[in-house]
């Protein structure tokens, strides 16, 4: 039996993780859950999975959650950063599923690592912001970090049994999002509703916008650099609209190993939870005869400048990826609130990045300070 804590249990990854727990009750049990604001769904999860401890965003939501539960519900309800840290480090937990969206996932994930918990990592921002620190601490603690992103899970599987010295390139695939074939001169007309309509994946609002700008793929480039200890020059992005090839690895002898499957996150989540075993998920194999052809093309970085900004941040390193990520979170939120246009997202991110004085080999406090500065600077720029 593997005991889990799930950081971000009411989001897409969290909900799918709980579906797998429900499918395999003899293999997994939930000891701790953390959510932000969706206390009604969290209350349902508590009733179904009986965690011993949960955490929410603030005291008001903790009170609201308690009112939704039956009087005899035997669960400790905490809140805030201390609550999230308690869920991440809960004593009887074997693995923490890091599925909190954005920079907020960094501190709880680091806490889980320092407590010796293996990590099923869905929160790419943890490695974008502090990849060097996170991977070093994981190595020191003997903690396994298993990728949940479908692309990084595919790379992880394609590297299995191979010598790292033989790797030529990592080939990260991207669907291209909803605007792959939209002319650049029409981008100023893009509305929130259009950007949220991802062609192949069902995701939360923030990651859907990131996929529409291709910033999500840029974040994944930086995540791959740290997760697989590979230089940026050996990471290539390919647009693959069918989303069947989840990613590939090429080797120095010309061989290419790929992982394929239907676009459903349960496969990657289950592999992280059960590695090195595979679970019988009853998932269908892609209908290749019906699909007919799989296509690939290079991304247009002029049309999708967020991807170019991410490659720049990855190359320069230091505190710049954290600044880029913070600026992206602020601008995406502003777009969702209809305060800026779609094309303003990369413009505001670039402006904040250009104003930042990079600290190379930063401490955690340097990274958190850079994140705070970038949020304030970007918000100030938007408000002008």
Q: What is the mean pLDDT of residues 178-186?
A: 93
How confident is residue 73, by pLDDT bands cut at 50, 70 and 90? Answer: confident
Across residues 5-17, what is the average pLDDT?
96
| pLDDT given for residue 241 in this prediction | 95
Residue 26 in any domain: the answer is yes
Final residue in a domain of this structure, among 118, 147, 176: 147
Across 365-374, average pLDDT? 98
The number of distinct structural domains making up the chain is 2
Res 285: pLDDT? 95
pLDDT band with cut points at 50, 70 and 90 for residue 197:
confident
Percent of the chain at pLDDT > 90 equals: 92
Return the pLDDT at 64: 95
Give CA angle at 12 (137, 17), nearest 5°: 65
Q: Does 152 have pLDDT greater than 70? A: yes
Mean pLDDT within 121-148: 97
Is 86 a domain residue? yes
First vs last C-alpha separation in the chain = 55
Q: How many angstroms separate the Cα of 36 from the Cα of each of 43, 56, 99, 125?
A: 12, 5, 11, 17
- Give the DSSP per-residue string, 291-360: H-----B---TTTSHHHHHHHHHHHH-TTHHHHHHHHHHHHHHHHHTTSS-TTHHHHHHHHHHHH--PPS
The Cα 8–Cα 22 span in angstroms is: 17
Residue 45 CB neighbour total at 10 angstroms: 21
Say whether 118 sits in a helix, a strand or coil. strand
- Residue 256 is assigned to a structural domain of this protein: no
Residues 76-105 have pLDDT tens digits of 999 999 999 999 999 999 999 999 988 899
Over the chain, what is the mean pLDDT?
95
Torsion sign, CA atoms 306, 307, 308, 314? positive
What kind and span of H or E run contains 2? Answer: strand 2-7
Q: Which of 92, 116, 147 finishes a domain?
A: 147
The number of residues in the chain equals: 384
**56 lies in a domain?**
yes
Whole-angstrom distance, CA of residue 344 vs CA of residue 350: 10
pLDDT at 201: 64
Domain presence at residue 219:
no
pLDDT for 337: 94
**What CATH number did the domain enclosing 350 receive?**
1.10.1740.10
Report the CATH number that the domain containing residue 121 is assigned in CATH: 3.40.50.720
pLDDT > 80? residue 199 = no
Record the tokens describing residue 381, joined without a space.
């720029």
**pLDDT tens string 14-53:** 999 999 999 999 999 999 999 998 999 999 999 999 999 9
pLDDT score of 72 more than 90: no
Of the pLDDT bands very low, low, confident and very high (cuts 50, 70, 90), residue 204 is confident
pLDDT score of 319: 98
252-308 tens-digit pLDDT:
999 999 999 999 999 999 999 999 999 999 999 999 999 999 999 999 999 999 999
Confidence check: pLDDT of 205 > 90: no
Q: Are 353 and 320 in contact (CB under 8 A)?
A: yes
Does residue 198 have a pLDDT over 80?
Answer: no
- Of the three residues 132, 147, 162, the one that is the final residue of a domain is 147
Pair 266, 278: CB distance under 8 Å: no
Domain assignment of residue 374, yes or no = yes
**Helix or strand or coil: residue 217?**
helix
Nearest Cα residue to 34 out of 57, 64, 50: 57
Query: Which tens digit of pLDDT belongs to each residue from 341-360?
Result: 999 999 999 999 999 999 99
Q: Is residue 52 part of a domain?
A: yes
pLDDT digits (tens, 9 = 90+) for 166-181: 999 999 999 999 999 9
Helix intervals (H) in the chain: 12-23, 39-49, 59-68, 80-88, 106-114, 125-141, 150-159, 192-195, 205-213, 215-227, 266-274, 288-291, 305-316, 320-336, 344-355, 364-383
pLDDT band at 70 (very low <50, low <70, confident <90, very high): confident
pLDDT at 355: 97
Of the two residues 139 and 195, the one the predictor is more confident about is 139
What predicted TM-score, i.e. pTM, was given to this entire model? 0.94
- Six token digits for residue 348: 């505001």
Judging by beta carbons within 10 Å of its beta carbon (0-12, 13-18, 19+), is residue 284 exposed, middle or buried? exposed
With a cut of 70, say whether residue 235 has pLDDT above it.
yes
As a whole number of angstroms, the distance between CA 277 and CA 115 comes to 25
Q: Is residue 87 part of a domain?
A: yes
pLDDT at 202: 66
Domain that holds residue 322: 317-384
């Amino acid at each position: 039996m593997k005991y889990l804590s799930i950081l971000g249990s009411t989001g897409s990854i969290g909900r799918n993780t709980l579906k797998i727990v429900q499918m395999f009750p003899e293999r997994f049990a939930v000891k701790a859950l953390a959510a932000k604001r969706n206390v009604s769904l969290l209350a349902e999860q508590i009733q179904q999975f009986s965690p011993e401890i949960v955490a929410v965003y603030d005291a008001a939501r903790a009170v609201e959650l308690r009112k939704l539960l039956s009087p005899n519900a035997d669960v400790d309800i905490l809140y805030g950063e201390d609550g999230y840290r308690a869920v991440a480090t809960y004593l009887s937990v074997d693995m923490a599923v890091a599925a909190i969206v954005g920079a907020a996932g960094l501190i709880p994930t680091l806490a889980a690592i320092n407590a010796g918990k293996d990590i099923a990592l869905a929160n790419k921002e943890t490695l974008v912001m502090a990849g060097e620190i996170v991977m070093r601490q994981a190595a020191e603690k003997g903690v396994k970090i298993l990728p949940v992103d479908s692309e990084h899970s595919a790379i992880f599987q394609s590297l299995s049994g191979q010598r790292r010295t033989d790797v030529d390139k990592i080939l990260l695939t991207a669907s291209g999002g909803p605007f792959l074939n939209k002319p650049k001169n029409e981008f100023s007309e893009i509305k929130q509703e259009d950007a949220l309509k991802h062609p192949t994946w069902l995701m939360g609002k923030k990651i859907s916008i990131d996929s529409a700008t291709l910033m999500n793929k840029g974040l994944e480039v930086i995540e791959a650099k740290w997760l697989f200890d590979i230089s940026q020059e050996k990471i290539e992005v390919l647009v693959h609209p069918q989303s069947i090839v989840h990613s590939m690895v090429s080797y120095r002898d010309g061989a290419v190993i790929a992982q394929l499957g239907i676009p459903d996150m349960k496969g990657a989540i289950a592999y992280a939870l059960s590695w090195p075993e595979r679970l019988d998920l009853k998932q269908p194999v892609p209908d290749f005869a019906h699909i007919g052809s799989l296509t690939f093309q290079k991304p247009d970085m002029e049309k999708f400048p967020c991807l170019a900004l991410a490659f720049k941040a990855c190359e320069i390193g230091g505190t710049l990826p954290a600044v880029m990520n913070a600026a992206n979170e602020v601008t995406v939120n502003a777009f969702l609130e209809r305060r800026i246009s779609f094309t303003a997202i990369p413009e505001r991110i670039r402006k904040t990045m250009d104003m930042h004085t990079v600290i190379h080999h930063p401490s955690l406090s340097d990274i958190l300070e850079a994140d705070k500065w970038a949020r304030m600077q970007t918000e100030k720029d938007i408000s002008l």
